[in-house]
Structure 1
Amino acid sequence: MKIAIITGAGGLIGSEAATFFSDKFDLIIGIDNNMRQYFFGEDAATSWNTLRLEKNLPNYKHLSVDIRDYNEVEKIFKEYNQDIALIIHAAAQPSHDWAAREPFTDFSVNANGTLNLLESTRQHCPNAVFIFTSTNKVYGDNPNYLPLVELETRWEIDASHPYHAKGIDEKMSIDHTKHSLFGASKTAADIMAQEYGNYFGMNVGVFRGGCLTGPNHSGTQLHGFLSYLMKCAITGNAYTIYGYNGKQVRDNIHSYDLVNMFWHYYQQPKQGACYNAGGSRFSNCSMLEAIQMCETIAGKKMNYSYSPTNRIGDHIWYISDVSKFQADYPEWSYKYDLESTLHQIFTEMTKRV
């Protein structure tokens, strides 16, 4: 039997991974205790997505386990042992602002939870492929010190800079920077995951995501940029832009395209490899540009306001250079651009609001 374990299975990336890999494995074990609802409230609950997986995937088994509990995590790995071929770790506390409210909770989920899964893998299925969903926030606010230029609808990097053509690569320093507590806990997990690959020779890959998006995101004000933006466009709920004149730029990668990266990595893993994984120059937008697109798709004006105070550690401009991954896995390519992603989000969101 060949088994895949997916943490955060009710979330955006976890549910996409469960669906993607369901016909490639005998059993998909999803781990998710709906802690996103604790983080962000009832609207962020992932229980609806879990029910969808249980209904649609005949080989899906759901376990409501807290990854902070090593004994409970290890029980799963002990039971299935060498049959476990893949672990996709997508569970996390994902918000800058929320992390500052409960630092111990944030760190125990993001850092300790990751360590629990890595060590359980090493003890019970060391030959399995372990994929860690990290974040571009490991670079802290270092991207804000790049030579940025304010244009009509966005910030952009100076055309003479090496990052202009493709975006920020993995050589950017993760040191001497303001991460936010969330960024710090994810950096700890990121480095630990790399070490299990490099030190123990395990098949561990780290993927530093940009804005991860798609139709199955339970977006809220504190997390889930495009999903929450489209939700506000549909419902007329107020949306607040924080700082940088609304011109801050994000690259956005569809959950399918990220999980397809995982699939290519799984087939030919590189131990301790670390990749930037975002929408790159292929799929990116500023806040103002995203609002305009949402208004066009929803067919009405949005109810938004502007606050001049930016979120601490927030990026002014971030576009991922994915050329390192493309060089290692040249058969991978994007399927969804920004417009098609937003149309998908709109279609699914209208069914839920």
Structure 2
Amino acid sequence: MNIALVTGSAGLIGSESAAFLSDKFDLVVGIDNNLRQYFFGKDGNTEWNRNRLEESLPNYKHYSVDIREASQLEPIFKEYGSDIKIIVHTAAQPSHDWAAKEPFTDFGVNATGTLNLLEMTRLHAPEAVFIFTSTNKVYGDNPNYLPLVELETRWEIDESHPYFKDGIDEKHSIDHTKHSVFGASKVAADIMVQEYGRYFGLKTGIFRGGCLTGPNHSGAQLHGFLAYLMKCAITGNHYTIFGYKGKQVRDNIHSHDLVNMFWHFYQNPRPGEVYNAGGGRFANCSMLEAITLCEKITGNKMNFSYSETNRIGDHIWYISDLNKFKSHYPGWNWEYGLEETLVQIHDGIASRLAGSAI
């Protein structure tokens, strides 16, 4: 039997991974205990997405266990063992604001949970490909010290800088900078996944995501930028822009395009390799530009205000350079542009609101 194991399987990237892999493996094992609801309240509840997977994927099997507890993971790994061919680890505490409230919880989920999964893989499924969703926050505040220029609707990097053409590459330093508590816990996990590839020889791959987005995101104020923004545009709920005049720039990658990156890596893994993963120059926007798009798609004027206080660890301008991944896997490319993704997010949220799923 060939098995795919997905952590955070009821979340955005986890559920996309489960659906993507379901016709490629005999069984998809999902691990998710809906801790996102604990982090973000009812907006973060992923129960609807778990139900959707169980109803739509006949070969999906769900386990509501806590990755912080190796004792809860070990029976699953012992049961399936070497039949596990791929592990897509997306479970995380994903907010730098929330992490400061409970550093033990944040580090437990992001760092200890990742170590538990790596060790279970080494002991019970050493031939499996291990995919880790890291984050651009491992670079800390370093991107904010690039030569940035203020334009009418966005910050942009100076045209003379090497990053102007394609964005920030993997050689950008992750050291000597403030990360936020969340960024630090993800650095610990990121480095450990690299080490299990380089030291133990596991087939690990690290994907440092920009803004990961798509129609199945349980967006909340503290995490899920485009999904939460669109939800506010639809409902009329108030939205707050935090700092940088609303001109801070993010690149945005559709969940399908990211999981397709995972699939390309799985077919030809490079142990311990690190890749930036985002929308790049293909799909990016500032907060102000995203608000304009949401208003265009919904036909509603957004109810928002501005706070001068920026979030700690927030990037002013971040666009991912994907040239390294593209050079290693030339068959991959983006499929979903920014406006198309936002339309999908709109339709998904509107449908769930109509059915009172969120």
Tell me the TM-score normalised to structure 2 length: 0.98
CA distance in 2, matches of 1:43, 1:147: 37
Q: Does 1:90 align with 2:95?
A: no
Give CA deviations for 1:201-253 in whole Å, capped at 9, x if unaligned.
Answer: 11000000000000000000000000000000000000000000000000000
CA distance in 2, matches of 1:206, 1:249: 23
| Structure 1 equivalent of residue 216 of structure 2 | 216
| Structure 2 equivalent of residue 189 of structure 1 | 189
Q: Give 1:112 deviation, angstroms.
A: 0.1
Structure 2: segments with no counterpart, 5+ residues: 354-358
| Aligned amino acid, residue 340 of structure 1 | E
Q: Give 1:42 deviation, angstroms.
A: 1.3
CA distance in 2, matches of 1:206, 1:44: 25
CA distance in 1, matches of 2:267, 2:261: 10
| Structure 2 equivalent of residue 156 of structure 1 | 156
| Aligned amino acid, residue 141 of structure 1 | D
| Structure 2 equivalent of residue 78 of structure 1 | 78
Q: Does 1:198 align with 2:198?
A: yes
| Aligned amino acid, residue 65 of structure 1 | V
CA distance in 1, matches of 2:82, 2:302: 52
Poorly superposed stretches of 4+, deviation over 3 Å: none
| Structure 1 equivalent of residue 244 of structure 2 | 244
CA distance in 2, matches of 1:111, 1:247: 32
> Equivalent residues in 2 for 1:20-169 (5 A)?
20-169=20-169
CA distance in 1, matches of 2:43, 2:82: 38
Percent identity reads 74
Give the secondary-structure state (helix, strand or coil) at the position aligned to 2:165: coil
Tell me the TM-score normalised to structure 1 length: 1.00
Q: Give 1:75 deviation, angstroms.
A: 1.1
| Structure 1 equivalent of residue 207 of structure 2 | 207
CA distance in 2, matches of 1:18, 1:128: 16
| Structure 2 equivalent of residue 345 of structure 1 | 345
| Structure 2 equivalent of residue 180 of structure 1 | 180
| Structure 1 equivalent of residue 356 of structure 2 | none
Q: Give 1:74 deviation, angstroms.
A: 1.2
Give the secondary-structure state (helix, strand or coil) at the position aligned to 1:159: coil
Give CA deviations for 1:138-183 in whole Å, capped at 9, x if unaligned.
Answer: 0001000000000000000000000000000000000001100000
Q: Give 1:352 deviation, angstroms.
A: 1.7
Corresponding pairs, count: 353
Q: Give 1:351 deviation, angstroms.
A: 1.1
| Aligned amino acid, residue 234 of structure 2 | I
CA distance in 1, matches of 2:128, 2:308: 47
| Structure 1 equivalent of residue 226 of structure 2 | 226
Give the secondary-structure state (helix, strand or coil) at the position aligned to 1:165: helix
